[in-house]
Amino acid sequence: MNVDPLFHPGWIEFNERQWGLEAEHLTLTPDKGDAWRLDTVLYRNRRGRLVTPPRNPYLPIHFECSSERPASINRRKRMALTRLAERLRETGLGGSLSLSPVADDVRPFEWAQMSARPRFTYHLEIAGREERIDPSARKKARKCRRLDYRCEVSEDYAAVAGCLSGPESRKGFDYRLEAAELDRLAELMGPDHFVCFLARNARGEPMGTRVCLYAPGGHAMAWSAGMKTEAMKDGVNNLVAEEALAFFEAQGCTVFDFIGANIPPVAEMKEAWGGRLVCHFVISQRGMRQLAREAYVTARTLLKRESK
């Protein structure tokens, strides 16, 4: 069973149609035998270069190994990622590629003359989460309930898009998602893989939302979230998160990926839920300037060794 909802055919089709890309489901295996297998989805732009589609946290990667011995897993994963790095280099990058946390060995990409920088998120084990969550997060959700907010699974995509516009106006970025795009994605993925949580205040006005992708029995992902400015102090974010976690537990999901923890206030908010800090890597082609700098540093190091 694949635990990553980013492999869902509807998600892949949405990326192709929404951003004008061409997707390729890539499977890599050894030249002989079936000791390991790596699956991913690559996206090409109109120039044939590989890109990470907008609004994608990373490119999904699934790795399987026929052995349970740590030494064998390490070796075979390195081999699989080396093959992937070679394929990326041959095709060419149209920008930076964000890779799944599954690609936790970045050396093959560096060996293939790519640079890598770490990015972070939090993964919360949904079962037993009550013991991990900081009381402050629970307190804010209780405050929201006392103010007579309620949260529901909703197909009111106009209301959802309205809540997503809150952080857009405050922080100056664009989700590039209108009600029509949300409706299209819901149709492509279906209710078993796409869900919107919507919080309304006592007057029934939509004030906060969280749009999630998930694989029943696998991972759930906090794809997009937003709340209106006037509700920021009411604990709406926490109420919606609590309701989402309860929903995904009922779907048998094992891990909730908060998607991103690279900005100080965002990291502070997300760490309160007690998840595990997870690193993934963004890779890019090394430019001539960077290669020259690395050659200079290497030469200086060698000269210092020889002078001793």
pLDDT of the residue at 299: 57
Mean pLDDT (the chain) is: 91
pLDDT band at 101 (very low <50, low <70, confident <90, very high): very high
Q: What is the pTM of this model?
A: 0.88
Backbone φ, ψ for residue 304 (5° rounding): -65, -40
pLDDT of residue 212: 98
| Residue 29 CB neighbours (<10 A) | 15
pLDDT of residue 174: 61
- At 212-223, the pLDDT tens digits run 999 999 999 999
Per-residue confidence (pLDDT) for residue 200, from 0 to 100: 97
Q: Check pLDDT > 70 for residue 35.
A: yes
Cα 276 from chain centroid?
14
The pLDDT of residue 282 is above 50: yes
Name 265's Cβ contacts closer than 8 Å, sequence gap at least 6. Answer: none
Rg (CA), the chain: 22
Structural domains of the chain, with CATH: 5-112 (no CATH), 123-277 (3.40.630.30)
pLDDT at position 286 is: 81
Token couple for 142: 């209780």
Angstrom distance (rounded) from CA 15 to CA 177: 12
Residue 29 CA to residue 19 CA, distance in Å, equals: 30
Residue 183 has pLDDT above 60, yes or no: yes
237-252 residue pLDDT tens: 999 999 999 999 999 9
Mean predicted confidence (pLDDT) in 50-64: 96
